[in-house]
Amino acid sequence: MSLLEERNQKEEFRYGAQEIQVLEGLEAVRKRPGMYIGSTSVKGLHHLVHEIVDNAVDEALAGFCSRIIVEILPGNVVRVRDNGRGIPVGVHPKMGVPAVTVVFTVLHAGGKFGGQGYKVAGGLHGVGSSVVNALSEWLEVEVFDGSFSYKQRFERGNPVSDLIKTQSSEHRGTLVEFKADSEIFKETTDYDSCILASRLREQAFLNAGLEICFKDLRDGCSSETFKYDGGISSFVEFIHKKRALDVIHEDVIHFSAESEDGSASVEIAMQYNVSYNELLISFANNIHTNDGGTHEEGFKVSLTKVMNSYARSFGFLKESDKNFLGEDVREGLCAIISVKLVSAQFEGQTKARLGNSEIKVLVERTVSEKLKDYLEENPASARSIVEKASASAKAREAAKKARDLVRRKTVMESASLPGALSDCQSKDPRETEIYVVEGESAGGSARGGRDRYFQAILPLRGKMLNVEKARLDKVYGNEKLMPVVTALGCGIGSDLDISKLRYNKIIIMADADVDGSHIRTLLLTFFFRFFRKVIEDGHIFIAKPPLYRITKFKKHRYAFTDEERDAILSEVGGQAEIQRYKGLGEMDPIQLWETTMNPETRVMLKVSLEDATLADEVFTILMGEKVEPRRDFIEQNARYVVNLDI
């Protein structure tokens, strides 16, 4: 008997009809929550709130809701109330139970599949409410139909009471209250009010005149009300004011259009600022499309065509000049694109990317017609915009020449990797890691303490460039940044090819003091602006060296926080000399390996990008030209600082 036949006879290898599982009701959601909300991390937790709020916003889109109240109650209970029509409470003809019960217990049940309830809506899959219900420890819904209120309670997706008529009421709308299930969200069930406020503010911008009230009723109650009659034009103004960015033309360019059959519409607001970065935020049916889609593609293509056509027609580009590229005409651009479609096609339940091909045509045509008119009618603003694009194009050409020079120099030299790099023996990127280390002293200790097989060391020398204040052409030739670019091997900026990344982990290792924090921040700014895909794919880490070494009877213990230090001192008793590490260079190679580089014992922080727009805002404020917004940010967030070295 062959080995395969012998194995097939064993019970554990049998595969028959009994092995096919059928998940009933909302059980599938609880088994695989990531399929429905992306993850069970902090992002997934907040997605629950977004799903319920989106339903209320859909009522506003339909013209029946003018006010939404979102509250975080003590114990991280969420309450969302709107003054829309209220979910229908009548008995569903097919299911035989009230429609509101169906909405919260049946996947793909809703009023957005082509009936008369909604023309345009963000929630198209009919799983939002039922998914939130399935992933909540408990959920209560109360519906007001203008005559009475009706209430029902669910626990982990299952009804524990019938829909009950409670009292007479003249109000209309829906109130949903729920508590996220800690069995699902094991990382945390603690909501971040900043994340929620940012999303709610977006919704108010996207729906001019809609009032959204947000209250955090946990420790130290706070309340904000968002209402913007200027819509997405106010959104652009808010972004520039918040980031203290000077604009190069005074007015926000705003235009909109609708398709001939009324099935789709587009609205765009845009304004250029003095920065070197573009900020393009797109929405489809009020849903933030983080990964873009056809509406963004149409905007980019048409913007480039219009700008080149205008520049040539009015002599800014001569016959011998090359056309502007897309990156040239988008430098310093802040643009909001909002499209609405009857039949939106999103990729995945989390709706990260829009796929409708017809919206690309509508956006292209709208930008082509409306932006052309604006430029011709506003020659002063048009000149400022074209000159900005021209400066960007020149810098891009300079960067290309510098890059080619670096490549030629590399070919002529004996080795293609930077001389300061102590590379690892393994060439398999899946198992290798590189420590980007501040200073030669720490670099020497790291070289001596590392595992040469999979750990590479790159010490940095010289002044670190703040790339927030510089274009790409200034990066090439920079003695501190170019070794990083060369060592990683995947290119930079628009030339980035993540498949060529030479190391799985890129670990920033700097001193545990103010200077070290500054170095980390400058490197993170560099990675965010020119290697964002590397961050998004989870390759960037921050080493966390110990703050203290506690010694007693020649035995050493290490503490990474003040609390750990105090606990160790309490455990070992008196007469211990405590050493406060000021720099990595104070550790010998063995100590650095034991505390900071040994995969079995080290502590590292993984750099993630939950909200690219928020990250962009923080980098602009902290690393930009203006001092005042940086001071305000520090004053507002100083209480959250730990391990401050003074």
**DSSP code string of 491-524:** --GGG--GGG-S-SEEEEE--SSHHHHHHHHHHH
- Beta-carbon contacts of 550 under 8 Å, excluding residues fewer than 6 positions away, are 556, 557, 558, 559, 565, 568, 569, 572, 576, 578, 579
Looking at residue 145, its amino acid is D
193-206 vs 612-623: helix crossing angle, rounded to 10: 100
Assigned token pair, 101 = 């019960």
Closest CA to 435 of 539, 532, 505, 517: 505
Structure confidence at residue 124 (pLDDT): 41
Q: pLDDT > 70: what percent of the chain?
A: 88
Structure confidence at residue 43 (pLDDT): 87
Alpha carbon distance 294, 510 (integer Å): 42
pLDDT band, very low/low/confident/very high, at 407 (cuts 50, 70, 90): low
Contact (CB, 8 A) for 466 and 522: yes
Mean per-residue pLDDT, 119-145: 79
Stretch among 298-302, 352-356, 414-418, 566-570 having the lowest mean pLDDT: 414-418
Inform me whether the pLDDT recorded for 576 exceeds 80.
Answer: no
Mean pLDDT of all residues in 171-191: 94
Q: In whole angstroms, what is the distance from residue 531 CA to residue 607 CA?
A: 13
Architecture of the 27-226 domain: 2-Layer Sandwich (3.30)
Question: Is beta strand 67-73 parallel, antiparallel or unpaired with respect to 211-216?
Answer: parallel
Residue 3, classed as helix, strand or coil, is helix
pLDDT confidence of residue 409: 59
In degrees and rounded to multiples of 5, residue 556 shows phi and psi of -105, 135
Residue spans of alpha helices (H) in 161-315: 193-206, 231-242, 294-313
Tokens of 307: 């700008």
Euclidean distance between CA atoms 139 and 104, whole angstroms: 9
Catalytic residue from among 54, 423, 468, 513: 513
Tell me the per-residue pLDDT of 502-521, one tens digit each, with 9 for 90 and over: 999 999 998 877 777 788 88
Share of the chain above pLDDT 90, in %: 49
Is residue 497 part of the annotated active site? The answer reads no
- Under the banding of pLDDT at 50, 70 and 90, the label for residue 22 is very low
- Candidates 353, 307, 357, 313; CA nearest to 333 is 307
Pseudo-torsion of CA 580, 583, 584, 586, nearest 10°?
-70
85 against 38, higher pLDDT:
85
241-259 as b/e: b if 16+ CB within 10 A? eebbbebbbeebbbbebeb
Count of Cβ atoms closer than 10 Å to residue 402 Cβ: 18
Q: What is the mean pLDDT of residues 561-568?
A: 84
User: Burial of 480 by CB count in 10 Å (0-12 exposed, 13-18 middle, 19+ buried)?
Assistant: middle
Reply yes or no on whether 438 is catalytic: yes
CA torsion angle 80 83 85 86 (round to 10): 30
Residue 106 corresponds to which tokens in the numbers above?
């049946």
Q: What is the pLDDT of residues 577-628, one digit of tens each?
A: 777 876 777 788 888 898 889 999 888 888 887 767 777 777 777 777 777 7
Q: Are 352 and 287 in contact (CB under 8 A)?
A: no
Asked whether the predicted pLDDT for residue 528 surpasses 70, the reply is yes
Instruction: Report the C-alpha gap between 335 and 192 in whole angstroms.
Output: 26
Q: Which of 192, 211, 258, 515 is catalytic?
A: 515
How far, CA to CA in Å, does 608 sit from each of 105, 527, 537, 619? 34, 12, 8, 14
Instruction: Label residue 131 by pLDDT band (50, 70, 90).
Output: very high
What confidence score (pLDDT) does residue 4 get? 46
- The string of DSSP codes covering 39-104 is -SSHHHHHHHHHHHHHHHHHHHHTT---EEEEEEETTTEEEEEE-SS----SBPTTTSSBHHHHHH
For residues 305 and 371, what is the distance between their CA atoms, to the nearest angstrom? Answer: 11
CATH 3.40.50.670 fits 420-545+587-640, yes or no: yes
Instruction: Give the bridge partners for 124, in sequence order.
Output: none
Give how far Cα 475 sits from Cα of 117, 216, 392, 396, 467, Å.
55, 44, 15, 11, 8
pLDDT score of 5: 53
Residue 127 has a pLDDT of: 60
Among the options 51, 71, 438, 616, which is catalytic? 438
What CA–CA distance (Å, rounded) separates 532 from 105? Answer: 40
Check whether 273 has a pLDDT greater than 70.
yes
pLDDT of residue 98 exceeding 70: yes
Are 550 and 578 in contact by the 8 Å Cβ rule? The answer is yes
pLDDT on residue 558: 83
Helices and strands in the chain, H and E counts: 20, 22
Angle among Cα 201, 202, 206 to the nearest 5 degrees reads 120
Distances (CA, A) of 575 to 36, 450, 547, 568: 56, 33, 19, 12
pLDDT at 2: 53
Rg (CA), the chain: 28
* pLDDT, the chain, mean: 85
The pLDDT of residue 412 is: 46
Q: Which of 216, 237, 511, 616 is catalytic?
A: 511
For the stretch 48-94, pLDDT in tens is: 999 999 999 989 988 899 999 999 999 999 999 999 999 999 888 88
Rounded to the nearest 10°, the torsion over CA 581, 584, 586, 590 is 110
Is residue 542 classed as helix, strand or coil in its secondary structure? Answer: strand
**Domain boundaries, given as residue ranges, for the chain:** 27-226, 231-396, 420-545+587-640, 548-580
What angle do the packed helices 193-206 and 42-61 form, to 10 degrees? Answer: 20
For residue 144, list its beta bridge partners: 149, 173
C-alpha 196/C-alpha 226 separation (Å) is 12
Task: Provide the greatest CA pair distance for the chain.
Answer: 87
Q: What is the mean pLDDT of residues 331-355?
A: 85
CA distances, 492 to each of 330, 402, 407, 473, 495 (Å): 18, 13, 13, 11, 5
Amino acid at 408: R
pLDDT in tens, 350-372: 567 899 999 999 999 999 999 99
For residue 469, is pLDDT > 90? no
511 among known catalytic residues:
yes
Strand partners, 549: 558, 579
Burial class from Cβ neighbours inside 10 Å (0-12, 13-18, 19+) for residue 325 reads middle
HEC states along 172-206? EEEEEEEEECCCCCCCCCCCCHHHHHHHHHHHHHH
Distance CA 149, CA 517 (A): 55
Q: Give domain 231-396's CATH architecture.
A: 2-Layer Sandwich (3.30)
| Whole-number pLDDT of residue 121 | 54
| Contact assessment for residue 573 and residue 591, using Cβ atoms and an 8 Å cutoff | no
Contact 300/282 with Cβ under 8 angstroms? no
